[in-house]
């Protein structure tokens, strides 16, 4: 083990330029992936923010008693898809309308707005089909006059979200693949740079496992350092964007650690693959 550690460390000191270069390559490949992740994260968050506004509004027939509405409210709130249901009295409605449509304040003076039940849905139930199903269910209450939920808007939002998800997955795979390929090539270079050493080790009777170990540790360490640098760069990029352009959210710390660890894993398995292939050929 001591020898393995020494050989891994020596690899860094013997070829500092190559080591630095491969760490930077890993760092920038993962940085590109990180930036993509940042965009995906923020687009997803923005979409969720918009989605949260998906709302079903059930207008109540005039003269329905408060108790009836309260009972119905309880029933609706108990639907598994429903996040919350709230009663909006005519007064509330008027106030809200005035606030939202300031310049038409006077128009609403005499108007009587119907009372309604506003229903917000839980995350994951905001697709057109579910929204319509729930709207229909609410419609079936005898005191409900009309249900509105912006059918077209929900459908459009759903389309956008589907496109964003598909694009996100495709781009994510592409970015990850590019990162893996570039990092793999870098590691391959490191292995080839020491091909002579490997052949000498084999000649004097070193086992494959013995030859492989320093490379695995070297790959793991390079990957981790590269991942940490990538994380730092991504964080800096996010801060700059937040300060000078738009507010962006950053990964949770678990995601950040997972990202850096991903670098380490690529380094480790990339090395295992490269050295293994090399050893089989000589």
Partner 1 sequence: MIRFTHVTKEYPRTGLALNDASFFINKGEFVFLTGPSGAGKSTILKLVYMEERPTSGDVKVANHHASIMKRREVSIFRRKLGVVFQDFRLLEDRTVEQNIAFALEVTGVPYAGISSKVSRLLTQVGLGSKANSFPRELSGGEQQRVAIARALANDPFVLIADEPTGNLDDRATRGIFQLLRDINAGGTAVLMATHNLDLVKRSDLRVIEVNRGQVVFDSGEAAAVAARAAEG
Smallest gap from residue 194 Cβ to partner 1 (A): 10
Binding positions for partner 1, rule: CB under 8 A? 3, 14, 196-197, 199-208, 210
Alpha helices in 78-207 (DSSP H): 90-100, 128-139, 151-193, 195-203
Token reading at 127: 């697709």
HSE-up of residue 83 (Cα within 13 Å, Cβ side): 15
Q: Which 3 state secondary structure label does DSSP give 148? A: strand
Smallest gap from residue 4 Cβ to partner 1 (A): 10
* C-beta of 207 vs 249, nearer to partner 1: 207
Smallest gap from residue 272 Cβ to partner 1 (A): 17
* Alpha-carbon distances, residue 220 vs 2, 24, 136, 198 (angstroms): 17, 14, 56, 19
* C-beta of 245 vs 282, nearer to partner 1: 282
Smallest gap from residue 14 Cβ to partner 1 (A): 5
Smallest gap from residue 212 Cβ to partner 1 (A): 12
* C-beta of 161 vs 212, nearer to partner 1: 212
* C-beta of 28 vs 210, nearer to partner 1: 210
Q: Which 3 state secondary structure label does DSSP give 101? A: coil
* C-beta of 14 vs 156, nearer to partner 1: 14
Smallest gap from residue 270 Cβ to partner 1 (A): 23
What contacts 144, CB < 8 A, 6 or more positions away?
58, 59, 60, 61, 117, 138
* Alpha-carbon distances, residue 146 vs 95, 114, 127, 136 (angstroms): 21, 10, 20, 10
Q: Which 3 state secondary structure label does DSSP give 204? A: coil
* C-beta of 58 vs 275, nearer to partner 1: 275
CA 32, CA 15: separation in Å to the nearest integer?
26
């Amino acid at each position: 083990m001591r020898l393995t550690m020494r050989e891994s460390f020596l690899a860094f000191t013997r070829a500092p330029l190559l080591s630095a270069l491969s760490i930077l390559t890993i760092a920038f490949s993962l940085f590109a992936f990180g930036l993509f992740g940042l965009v995906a994260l923020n687009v997803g968050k923005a979409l969720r923010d918009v989605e949260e506004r998906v709302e079903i509004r059930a207008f109540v027939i005039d003269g329905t008693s408060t108790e009836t509405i309260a009972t119905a409210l309880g029933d609706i709130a108990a639907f598994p898809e429903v996040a919350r249901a709230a009663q909006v009295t005519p007064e509330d409605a008027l106030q809200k309308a005035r606030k939202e449509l300031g310049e038409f304040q006077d128009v609403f003076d005499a108007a009587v707005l119907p009372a309604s039940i506003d229903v917000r849905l839980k995350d994951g139930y905001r697709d057109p089909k579910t929204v319509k199903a729930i709207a229909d269910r609410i419609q079936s209450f005898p005191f409900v006059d009309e249900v509105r939920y912006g059918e077209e808007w929900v459908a459009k939002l759903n389309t956008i979200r589907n496109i964003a998800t598909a694009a996100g997955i495709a781009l994510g795979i592409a970015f990850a693949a590019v990162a893996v390929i570039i990092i793999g090539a870098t590691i391959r270079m490191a292995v080839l740079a020491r091909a002579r050493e490997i052949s000498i080790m084999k000649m004097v009777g070193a086992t494959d496992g013995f030859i492989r170990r320093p490379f695995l540790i070297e790959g793991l360490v390079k990957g981790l350092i590269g991942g940490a640098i990538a994380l730092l760069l991504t964080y800096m990029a996010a801060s700059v964007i937040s300060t000078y352009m738009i507010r962006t959210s950053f990964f949770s710390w678990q995601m950040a650690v997972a990202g850096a660890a991903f670098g380490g894993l690529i380094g480790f398995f990339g090395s295992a693959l490269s050295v293994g292939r090399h050893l089989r050929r000589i």
